[in-house]
């Protein structure tokens, strides 16, 4: 499928995400202006406050965006609010600084003249200082707005929507068309915002300071006003007919979340489709939220009510138990301790085990006779591994694996999601971690190595639901129990392959599977 075919096939989703992106950016920049301009005015009069306020704004600007989101999730949860707060914080520095600079650099003689004709300090501010500083202030707003368009792509990481969803999904599935479908509209939106605020900047610049013939300038300003008016009406119409958040007014609602890889999006859509088909519950889909800890934090704050996790992940990463291979013990421990310690209910375990595995190219496996993980010991010091952040930092990941098997990888790189598959295919790394049901294993035709020492714990899919939600909607347990037998390892590999290689959407793959098996009408 080429780029234009992808656009034609998916334009409703692209348009919807573009509108979400526009709304989130507009709200963020609007709030940043409401906060930043008064702060800039304040520090222009309170000189002692200027250094600490600008220092704080500079520090915020220096914090990596993903780190800032990580700090916010425990405080504000997931969704629109933390995304907007993060972008507001990043947008403050240019607005505060330019407001302060614009007011501070006004000719003192002009201010003296204003005072001389009897203007009060407030009148001097509103009738002289702010109007003269407006071009500089708008230059700061312009920088903040263009930057905000790019920064808002992170909103998808915490379930707030926007064009970042397409970019992240495309990277995850090695789908360049999807990446471009998110990146190009974001670039065009940034250029449009820059153009419109540039027009505003010209309009607020006093005519006497602009070059050119007076009649030409007047005609040009009328055109600029018309263009800005049309843009303002368009944005107002978008806000009128849509809302910033996906808030439902229904009495019976449930929020379903998922992690940020293909299988999880398929499962999230599948669970949501089943619940909506079998009940009168309205499901809020908050999919592709990031790793286990992001989803778990969202459960604790009540931002999501249900998501599919994996028994081994819950046992080792959440409950901090050392890895074991006993499937039943892992499941029962997670079920009991989640209920006792966290007030979470674990429903019936599903039939597929998406355990970790190590993968190499078939050429490398043949060259070095690699069938089991133990076989890596003879060449481990010459290898370069490419593993995900979670696998690199978990006890049931790389460090524990090396201890159990008694070898050390020579060089270790951390690569998230699908790029590690690309790196393996291009020879930049020699071995990667993978999930046993990954569709990308089939797409890249890789060899998976047998865990001959049974290091990895079982990773059977388990629905986790907040106890309050299950008490309110007890029918959820029966729905999950009915789904469980249908999802085997072979089925999940095929479903993942349809998304990762055949470029179908997780929502379409989910619906097709449920209908084929008579689970929904």
- Sequential DSSP letters for 162-187: STHHHHHHHHHTT-HHHHHHHHHHHH
Which pLDDT score, from 0 to 100, does residue 366 have? 93
CB 431 within 8 A of CB 385: yes
Q: How far apart are CA 316 and CA 512, in angstroms?
A: 34
Angular region, 288: left φ>0, alpha ψ -120 to 50, beta rest: left
197-225: pLDDT as tens digits: 988 888 877 666 566 666 666 777 788 88
Both tokens assigned to 321: 């138990």
Indicate if the pLDDT at residue 163 is higher than 50: yes
Indicate if the pLDDT at residue 382 is higher than 50: yes
Q: How many CB atoms lie within 10 A of CB 372?
A: 14
Indicate if the pLDDT at residue 264 is higher than 70: yes
Chain centre to alpha carbon of residue 192 = 23
283 beta partners: 254
314-353: pLDDT as tens digits: 998 889 898 888 999 999 999 999 999 999 999 999 999 9
Both tokens assigned to 57: 């704004």
Give me the residue label for tokens 């939600």: 469
449 beta partners: 358
Q: What predicted TM-score, i.e. pTM, was given to this entire model? A: 0.75
Contacts of 86 (CB under 8 A, 6+ apart): 65, 68, 69, 72, 151, 154
* Interval 26-40 mean pLDDT: 95
- Tell the burial category of 309 from Cβ atoms under 10 Å away from its Cβ (0-12, 13-18, 19+): buried
Indicate if the pLDDT at residue 278 is higher than 80: yes
B/e letters for 226-247, b = 16+ CB within 10 Å, e = fewer, are: eeeeebeeeeeeeeeeeebebe
Q: How far apart are CA 397 and CA 405, in angstroms?
A: 12
Give me the residue label for tokens 């153009």: 195
Which pLDDT score, from 0 to 100, does residue 288 have? 85
Q: How far apart are CA 516 and CA 521, in angstroms?
A: 10
Pinpoint the alpha helices (H) of 338-417: 362-368, 389-393, 398-405
395-414: pLDDT as tens digits: 788 888 999 999 999 999 98
The residue among 282, 301, 284, 281 whose CA lies nearest residue 293 is: 301
Q: How far apart are CA 329 and CA 331, in angstroms?
A: 5
Indicate if the pLDDT at residue 39 is higher than 90: yes
The residue among 115, 188, 175 whose CA lies nearest residue 440 is: 175
Q: Is 345 helix (H, G, I), strand (E, B) or coil?
A: strand
Instruction: Find the Cα–Cα–Cα–Cα dihedral 299, 300, 303, 308, rounded to 10°.
Output: 0
Indicate if the pLDDT at residue 248 is higher than 50: no
* Interval 143-171 mean pLDDT: 87
CB 460 within 8 A of CB 349: yes
Indicate if the pLDDT at residue 239 is higher than 90: no
Indicate if the pLDDT at residue 299 is higher than 70: yes
Contacts of 445 (CB under 8 A, 6+ apart): 362
Q: How far apart are CA 188 and CA 184, in angstroms?
A: 6
| Whole-number Cα distances in Å, 441 to 181, 290, 425, 449 | 25, 21, 11, 12
CB 266 within 8 A of CB 172: no
Q: How far apart are CA 57 and CA 90, in angstroms?
A: 8
Pinpoint the alpha helices (H) of 242-355: 262-278, 292-301, 311-313, 327-337
Q: How far apart are CA 342 and CA 345, in angstroms?
A: 9
* Interval 14-34 mean pLDDT: 93
User: Which stretches of 460-500 are assigned E, i.e. beta strand?
Assistant: 461-466
CB 299 within 8 A of CB 344: yes
Pinpoint the alpha helices (H) of 117-213: 121-124, 130-151, 164-172, 176-204
Q: How far apart are CA 467 and CA 265, in angstroms?
A: 23
Domains and CATH numbers, the chain: 3-197 (1.10.3720.10), 253-353+459-516 (3.40.190.10), 356-449 (3.40.190.120)
Which pLDDT score, from 0 to 100, does residue 500 have? 85
Q: How far apart are CA 30 and CA 197, in angstroms?
A: 13
Indicate if the pLDDT at residue 74 is higher than 50: yes
Q: How many CB atoms lie within 10 A of CB 72?
A: 18
Q: How far apart are CA 68 and CA 82, in angstroms?
A: 9
End-to-end CA distance of the chain: 30
Identify the helix (H) or strand (E) that includes residue 357.
strand 356-361
Both tokens assigned to 83: 């995304």
Binning pLDDT at 50, 70 and 90, where does residue 514 land?
A: very high
Among 189-198, 357-366, 436-445, the minimum mean pLDDT is found in: 436-445
User: Which stretches of 372-451 are assigned E, i.e. beta strand?
Assistant: 384-387, 411-414, 431-435, 446-449
How much of the chain, in percent, has pLDDT values that exceed 70? 96
Q: How far apart are CA 346 and CA 435, in angstroms?
A: 22
Binning pLDDT at 50, 70 and 90, where does residue 247 land?
A: very low
- Provide the pairing of β-strand 431-435 with 356-361: antiparallel
89-136: pLDDT as tens digits: 999 999 999 999 999 999 889 888 988 898 888 899 988 899 889 999
Q: Is 110 helix (H, G, I), strand (E, B) or coil?
A: helix
């Amino acid at each position: 499928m080429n780029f234009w075919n992808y656009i034609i096939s998916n334009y409703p989703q692209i348009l919807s995400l573009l509108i979400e992106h526009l709304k989130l950016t507009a709200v963020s920049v609007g709030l940043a202006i409401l906060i930043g301009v008064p702060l800039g005015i304040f520090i222009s009069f309170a000189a002692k406050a200027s250094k600490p306020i600008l220092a704080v704004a500079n520090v915020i600007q220096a914090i990596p965006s993903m780190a800032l989101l990580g700090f916010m999730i425990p405080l504000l949860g997931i969704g629109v609010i933390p995304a907007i707060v993060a972008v507001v914080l990043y947008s403050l520095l240019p607005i505060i600084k330019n407001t302060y600079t614009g007011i501070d650099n006004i000719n003192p003689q002009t201010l003296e003249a204003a005072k001389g004709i009897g203007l009060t300090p407030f009148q001097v501010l509103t009738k002289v200082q702010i109007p003269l500083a407006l071009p500089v202030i708008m230059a700061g707003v312009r920088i903040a707005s263009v930057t905000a368009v790019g920064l808002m792509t992170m909103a998808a990481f915490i379930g707030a929507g926007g064009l970042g969803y397409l970019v992240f999904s495309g990277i995850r599935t090695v789908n360049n068309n999807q990446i471009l479908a998110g990146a190009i509209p974001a670039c065009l939106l940034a250029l449009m915002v820059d153009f419109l605020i540039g027009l505003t900047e010209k309009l607020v610049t006093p005519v006497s300071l602009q070059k050119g013939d007076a009649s030409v300038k007047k005609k040009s300003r009328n055109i600029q006003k018309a263009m800005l008016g049309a843009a303002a009406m368009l944005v107002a119409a978008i806000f009128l007919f849509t809302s910033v958040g996906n808030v439902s007014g229904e009495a019976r609602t449930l929020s379903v979340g998922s992690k940020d890889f293909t299988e999880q999006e398929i499962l999230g859509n599948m669970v949501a489709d089943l619940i909506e088909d079998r009940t009168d519950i309205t499901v809020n889909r908050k999919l592709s939220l990031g790793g286990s800890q992001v989803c778990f934090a969202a459960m604790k704050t009540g931002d999501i009510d249900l998501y599919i996790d994996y028994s081994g992940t819950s046992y080792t990463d959440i409950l901090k138990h050392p890895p074991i291979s006993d499937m039943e013990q892992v499941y029962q421990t997670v079920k009991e301790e989640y209920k006792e310690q966290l007030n979470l209910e674990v429903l019936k375990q599903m039939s597929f085990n998406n355990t970790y595995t190590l993968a190499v190219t078939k050429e490398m496996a043949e060259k070095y006779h690699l069938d089991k993980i133990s076989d890596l010991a003879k060449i481990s010091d010459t290898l370069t591994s490419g593993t995900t952040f979670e696998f690199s930092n978990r006890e049931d990941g790389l460090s524990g694996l090396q201890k159990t098997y008694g070898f050390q990888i020579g060089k270790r790189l951390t690569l998230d999601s699908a790029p590690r598959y690309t790196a393996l295919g291009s020879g930049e790394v020699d071995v990667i971690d993978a999930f046993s049901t990954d569709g990308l294993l089939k797409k890249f035709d890789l060899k998976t190595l047998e865990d001959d020492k049974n290091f990895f714990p079982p990773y059977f899919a388990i629905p986790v639901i907040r106890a309050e939600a299950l008490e309110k909607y007890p029918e959820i347990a029966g729905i999950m129990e009915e789904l469980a037998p249908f999802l085997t390892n072979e089925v999940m590999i095929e479903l993942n392959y349809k998304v990762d290689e055949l470029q179908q959407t997780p929502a379409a793959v989910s619906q097709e599977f449920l209908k084929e098996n008579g689970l929904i009408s």
